[in-house]
């Protein structure tokens, strides 16, 4: 197959330092807002990390639904002639609320909190956290990264083994 | 930006999308995979359906492979709604895709639908600056147990113009489902291997 090698921008490596820093920012956000669960994901729905605890909630499913929910509203925004997507989504439930906001163009912050917590506080704190993460990721993207350590020739054979184990016919 | 390698949590994240005309068996593929996997290694299967149980927005599940050199590949599987009028949903789901399984309906009467769907896929990819020429993808010729199906050679000559790997399947019995999935995951991961 004709595999064009020019699509080098098709992966992004998040360093361990940046990952830890994002966790620290989310931890602070959770502390200040008393949110139950905060999920930081990419706009494709991959849950990068989360803070807090919500029993029996599958964060990968939640992150996927939040990301696609956000993308759907982007289409609504474009139908209205908006130049950019809406900045946040807010869903109000009987016991819990969800506040979903964008972090730059590629990431999403979802905050799940009890009804008693003021939405104003969540908005301000989530936006502040979002900005801090955005700056951090911008710096991160500019740094040259390499993952040759991971993707050596041994990788393929180990992958084959794992796939055979998981998808045994 | 597509594939996300999380050095902190030691995860490599891949997004695979099942594409194809309405009722070709995309959801059936996911259901089989879901039932086959150890519950500890997969998420819930989320289906956003219409009242008639057709896919409205997407189906989604995530699965985890065992550790490879200290990293865990997590694979997100999505299906798109096949019907023509859900064009926007398909575009949204395709964002950030790393690999595609095109599920074709083998019945002779569906040949035009297969072609239309493939064309729609190529159009959507090109809007994202991607193309079927470059992205890893495979074809699955589904419903091989039905009468009045087109021979594989005919399907190949009409649909597989880039000569990508193909699989014959009967998705509702699981035949061909896992080999298709294995093949696309390998292609995607060997693609990043080439890139780095």
Contact at 8 Å (CB) between A14 and A107? Answer: no
- The number of CA neighbours under 13 Å toward the Cβ of A165 is 12
pLDDT tens by residue, chain B, 196 residues: 467 888 888 898 999 999 999 999 999 999 999 999 999 999 999 988 877 778 788 899 999 998 888 889 999 999 999 888 788 889 889 988 999 999 999 999 999 999 999 999 999 999 999 999 999 999 999 999 999 999 999 999 999 999 999 999 999 999 999 999 999 999 998 876 555 4
- Minimal Cβ distance to A68: which of B71, B92, B179: B92
* Model confidence pLDDT, tens digit, residues A26-81: 999 999 999 999 999 998 899 999 999 999 999 999 999 999 898 888 888 988 99
Closest Cα in chain A, distance from residue B127 (Å): 15
Determine the residue of chain A that is closest to B137 in CA distance: A1
- Minimal Cβ distance to A13: which of B5, B62, B66: B5
Cα–Cα distance list, B177 to B87, B103, B117 (Å): 26, 10, 20
- Minimal Cβ distance to A71: which of B8, B36, B95: B95
* Alpha carbon distance B124, B119 (integer Å): 9
| Contact: B2, A150; criterion CB under 8 Å | no
Q: Between chain A and chain B, how many beta carbons pairs sit less than 8 Å apart? A: 166
What pLDDT does residue A9 have? 41
Q: Cβ contacts (< 8 Å) between B44 and chain A: which residues?
A: 58, 61
| Contact: B71, A154; criterion CB under 8 Å | no
The strand ranges marked E within B3-112 are 3-6, 11-19, 46-49, 55-64, 72-79, 99-105
Cα–Cα distance list, B183 to A18, A109, A152, B1 (Å): 33, 33, 19, 23
Q: Give Rg (Cα) of chain A.
A: 19
Helix pair A59-79, B87-94: axis angle to 10 deg: 130
Return the number of other C-beta atoms located less than 10 Å from residue A67's C-beta.
Answer: 24
- Minimal Cβ distance to B1: which of A9, A61, A163: A9
Whether the predicted pLDDT of A12 surpasses 90: no
Closest Cα in chain B, distance from residue A126 (Å): 22
ipTM: 0.82
A131-136, long-range: CB < 8 A, 24+ apart? A132/A25, A133/A22, A133/A25, A133/A40, A133/A103, A133/A107, A133/A109, A134/A103, A134/A104, A134/A107, A136/A18, A136/A21, A136/A22, A136/A25
Closest Cα in chain A, distance from residue B49 (Å): 14
Contact at 8 Å (CB) between A158 and B68? Answer: yes
Residue with tokens 């998808």: A167
| Contact: B186, A23; criterion CB under 8 Å | no
Closest Cα in chain B, distance from residue A32 (Å): 24
* Alpha carbon distance B122, B57 (integer Å): 19
Return the number of other C-beta atoms located less than 10 Å from residue A78's C-beta.
Answer: 13
* Alpha carbon distance A99, B90 (integer Å): 25
- Minimal Cβ distance to A42: which of B4, B58, B189: B4
Token output for B129: 């600056």
User: Per DSSP, what are the bridge partners of residue B72?
Assistant: B11
DSSP string, A14-50: E-HHHHHHHHHHHHHHHHHHT-SEEEEEETTS-EEEE
What pLDDT does residue A76 have? 87
H-helix or E-strand spanning residue A13: strand A11-14
Q: Cβ contacts (< 8 Å) between B136 and chain A: which residues?
A: 3
Shortest CA distance to A26 belongs to which of A42, A45, A39? A39
């Amino acid at each position: 197959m004709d595999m064009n090698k020019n699509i080098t921008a098709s992966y992004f490596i998040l360093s361990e330092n940046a990952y830890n820093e994002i966790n620290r920012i989310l931890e602070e956000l959770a502390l200040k807002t008393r949110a139950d669960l905060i999920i930081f994901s990419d706009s494709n729905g991959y849950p990068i990390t989360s803070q807090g605890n919500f029993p029996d909630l599958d964060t990968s499913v939640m992150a996927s639904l939040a990301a696609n929910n956000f993308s759907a509203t982007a289409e609504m925004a474009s139908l209205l002639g908006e130049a950019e997507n809406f900045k946040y989504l807010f869903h109000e439930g009987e016991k819990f609320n969800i506040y979903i906001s964008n972090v730059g163009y590629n990431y999403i912050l979802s905050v799940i909190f009890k009804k008693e917590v003021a939405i104003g506080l969540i908005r301000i704190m989530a936006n502040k956290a979002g900005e801090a993460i955005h700056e951090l990721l911008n710096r991160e993207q500019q740094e040259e990264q390499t993952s040759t350590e991971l993707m050596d020739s041994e990788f393929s054979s180990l992958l084959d083994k794992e796939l055979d184990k998981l998808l045994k016919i | 930006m597509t594939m996300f390698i999380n050095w902190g949590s030691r995860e490599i994240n891949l997004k695979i999308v099942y594409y194809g005309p309405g009722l070709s068996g995309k959801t059936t593929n996911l259901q089989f995979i879901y039932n086959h996997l150890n519950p500890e290694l997969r998420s819930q299967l989320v289906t956003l359906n219409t009242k008639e149980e057709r896919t409205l927005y997407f189906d989604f599940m995530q699965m985890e492979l065992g550790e490879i050199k200290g990293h865990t590949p997590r694979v997100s599987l999505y299906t798109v709604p096949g019907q023509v009028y859900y064009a926007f949903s398909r575009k949204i789901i395709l964002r950030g895709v790393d690999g595609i399984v095109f599920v074709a309906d083998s019945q002779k009467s569906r040949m035009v639908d297969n072609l239309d769907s493939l064309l729609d896929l190529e159009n959507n990819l090109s809007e994202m600056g991607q193309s079927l020429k470059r992205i890893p993808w495979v074809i699955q010729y589904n419903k091989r147990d039905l009468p009045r199906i087109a021979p594989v050679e005919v399907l190949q000559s009409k649909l597989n113009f880039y000569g990508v790997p193909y699989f014959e399947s009967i998705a509702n019995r699981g035949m061909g489902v896992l080999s298709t999935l294995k093949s696309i995951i390998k292609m995607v991961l060997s693609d990043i291997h080439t890139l780095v």
